[in-house]
Amino acid sequence: MTFSELNLIEPLLQALQEEGYTSPTPIQEQAIPPVLNGDDLLGCAQTGTGKTAAFSLPLLHRLHEAGPAHPAKAIRALILTPTRELALQIGDSIQAYGRHTKIRHTVIFGGVGQVPQVEQIKRGVDILVATPGRLLDLMNQGLVSLKHIETFILDEADRMLDMGFIHDVRKVIAQIPAHRQTLLFSATMPQEIQKLANSILRDPVYVEVTPVSSTAEKIGQKVFFVEKTYKRALLKHLLKETGIKRALVFSRTKHGADRIAKELSKAGIAAQSIHGDKAQSTRVKALSQFKNYELQALVATDIAARGIDVDDLTHVINVDLPNEPETYVHRIGRTGRAGADGLALSFCDDTELPYLRDIEKLTKQTIPVEEEQPFHAEYQKLPLGGGKATDKLARSGGGNQPRGPRGGGQGGRPEQRGAGQGHNRRPDQRQGSSQGGGGNRRSSGGNRGPKR
C-alpha cells in the first residue's frame, strides 16, 4: 500500500515524500479512508504508531479540498490533546505535512503568555491544536469561538482522563456544533472513555493497532527461570532487595493477583491487586495510590491493566507469562514510555517455556536469562522452530526440563480471552465501507464502539 493509493492530494504526497515516508503505517492505512470519507472514528492506538499522520493527513486533505473558510478566518478544525509536548508535536507534524497547502494552524497551551497565541488566532487559522485548560480559558474570555468547527479530534483521551481533564474536555465539546466529524484516539479504552465515545461519536469506524515488536525493542527485558512454587518468594526478593521503587505486577488470574498482593502485604511490601471483581472505586483508589508511590506493587490482571497509564513506570513484572505473545508486548509496553528507562522482568516456570518461545519469535528478540537470583531453575529454552503453543497446558516432556514441578495445571485463564489483542480489529465489519459508495453511509446500528 502506498500513500497515493489512499488517494491523498498531490501537495500532501509531495510532503510525505520529502519526509521520507514510503508507505502508510497500519493505523494510517485503516484510518485515512474513513476519515477522508467524513466518517467518525474511534482509534485505539498509542503514540508511535503513526496516529498523528493518520488524522492530520485526511484532515489537511479535506480542508484543502473544501477551499477557504467561510466565514473568513473561522477555525474549522480543533485538535485537543492533553499536554503541551503533544500539542507541539502535532503542530510540527501539521506544519510538515501541510507545507505545500495553504492550510494554517496554530498551537495553544497553558504556562506561557496568551497574547501571541491570541494574535495568531486573530490572524486566522484553519486548525487549532490545543490543550483543554488554555482553550477553555480563551473561550471564556471570548477570544476563541468554536462555532465553525467541522472536525473535532480528541487525542489521547485516556490520558485526558488520567490527568483529570475530562471535565474540561466535556465543556469544550459542549461548544462545538453537533453537526461535525469527530475522531477519538485513545491508547486504552477504560469505561469512562467508552462512555465519552458513545456520547460524542456517531456510528464510528473502529480501528485498533498495537505497535507489536517496536515497543519491545525499547525496553530492557529479563527472564527468570523459577519453579512455580517459588515465584512469589522471588517476587518478594526482587521488591525487597533490588531497589525497585514501583512495579506493575501481572498475574494471569484474579485469584492469583489477590494471593500475590496479600502475600506481599504480609511481607511488609505495600501492594494492592486490581481486577474485574473489584469495585471501580477500589480500583481507582489503588491506581491513584500506585501513581503517588504509596504502593510499591500494583498486581493486575490483563484486563484490569488496560486502563493503567502511568507515565514514569520503570518496572513491569510478569509473575506468569501470558499464553498469547501479543499480551506480553502489551504488558511490557506499560513501561519505558516517553523515553524513560523501562525494565520488564518475567518469571517462567517449566510449563511456560513454550510461551517464552512464542514471545521471542514474535518480538524477534532473545530475552536474556537472569541466573543471578536465589531461585534459579536450570531450564533450557525451547528451540524457536516449534509450532505455536496452544492454550493447553504445555507438556514438560522432551528432556528440556531437568527439574521443576509437574502436573497440577494452571487451570483456566478467565481473563485472557477477549482481552482485545486482535490487531487492526474492526468489530463493526465496515471494512472498506469508506471507499466505494458515495456519501457517509451511516447505518442505524447505533454506536459501534469496542465490545467490552
8, 13, 24, 307: residue in contact with ligand AMP (rule CB under 6 A): 24
How far apart are CB 52 and ligand AMP at their closest, in Å?
Answer: 3
* Cβ contact 429:450 at 8 Å: no
The whole-angstrom separation of Cα 108 and Cα 128 is: 8
The single residue among 13, 25, 336, 448 that binds ligand AMP, judged by CB under 6 A, is 25
Q: How many CA atoms lie within 13 A of 326 on its CB side?
A: 13
Residue 108 CA to residue 120 CA, distance in Å, equals 10
Nearest distance, CB of residue 188 and ligand AMP, angstroms = 15
**Maximal CA-CA distance, the chain:** 77
Decide: is 236 part of the binding site for ligand AMP (CB under 6 A): no
Q: Applying CB under 6 A, does 47 fall inside the site for ligand AMP?
A: yes
* Residues near 405 by beta carbon (within 8 Å), at least 6 away in sequence: 227, 228, 229, 349, 350
Distance CA 417, CA 319 (A): 18
The residue (of 17 and 366) whose beta carbon lies closer to ligand AMP is 17
| Min CB(262)–ligand AMP separation in Å | 39
HSE-CB at 236 with a 13 A cutoff on CA atoms is 17
Which residues 6+ apart lie within 8 Å of 251 measured at CB?
Answer: 257, 260, 273, 299, 300, 301, 319, 320
Q: Which region among 45-53, 305-313, 348-356, 373-381 touches ligand AMP (by CB under 6 A)?
A: 45-53
Question: Which of 155, 320 has the CB closer to ligand AMP?
Answer: 155
> Binding marks (x or -) toward ligand AMP, 171..210, rule CB under 6 A?
----------------------------------------
Distance in angstroms (rounded) separating the CA atoms of residues 210 and 366: 21
Q: Torsion angle, CA of 176/182/185/190, rounded to 10 degrees?
A: 80
User: Judged by CB under 6 A, does residue 33 bind ligand AMP?
Assistant: no
Beta bridge partners of 127: 77, 105
Other beta carbons within 10 Å of 233: 15
- Smallest separation, CB 44 to ligand AMP (Å): 13
Q: Which is nearer to ligand AMP, 48 or 133 (CB)?
A: 48
Tell which positions 48-107 bind ligand AMP, by CB under 6 A.
Answer: 48-53
Of 52 and 327, nearer to ligand AMP (C-beta) is: 52
| Residue facing ligand AMP at closest CB distance | 52
Identify residue 237 by its one-letter amino acid code.
H
Task: Identify the residue whose cell numbers are 493447553.
Answer: 392
Toward ligand AMP, which CB reaches closer, 90 or 201? 90
Write down the least CB distance from residue 342 to ligand AMP, Å.
18
Cβ proximity to ligand AMP: between 28 and 117 the closer is 28
Phi–psi pair at 203, nearest 5 degrees: 45, 55
Shortest separation between residue 92's beta carbon and ligand AMP, angstroms: 9
Is residue 71 reached through a cis peptide bond, with omega within 30 degrees of 0 on the bond before it?
A: yes
* Nearer to ligand AMP among residue 53 and residue 389 (C-beta): 53
Which CB atom, from 215 or from 351, has the smaller least distance to ligand AMP? 215
Concatenated DSSP letters of 210-270: --HHHHHHTSEEEEEEB-GGGHHHHHHHHHHHS----EEEE-SSHHHHHHHHHHHHHTT--
Q: Which stretch binds ligand AMP (CB under 6 A): 47-55, 176-184, 187-195, 380-388?
A: 47-55
User: How many residues at the interface with ligand AMP, by CB under 6 A?
Assistant: 11
Stretch touching ligand AMP by CB under 6 A, among 24-32, 107-115, 189-197, 429-437: 24-32
**C-beta closer to ligand AMP: residue 52 or 301:** 52
- Give the 3-state secondary structure of residue 384: coil
Residues of this chain that interact with ligand AMP (CB under 6 A) are 21, 24-25, 28, 47-53
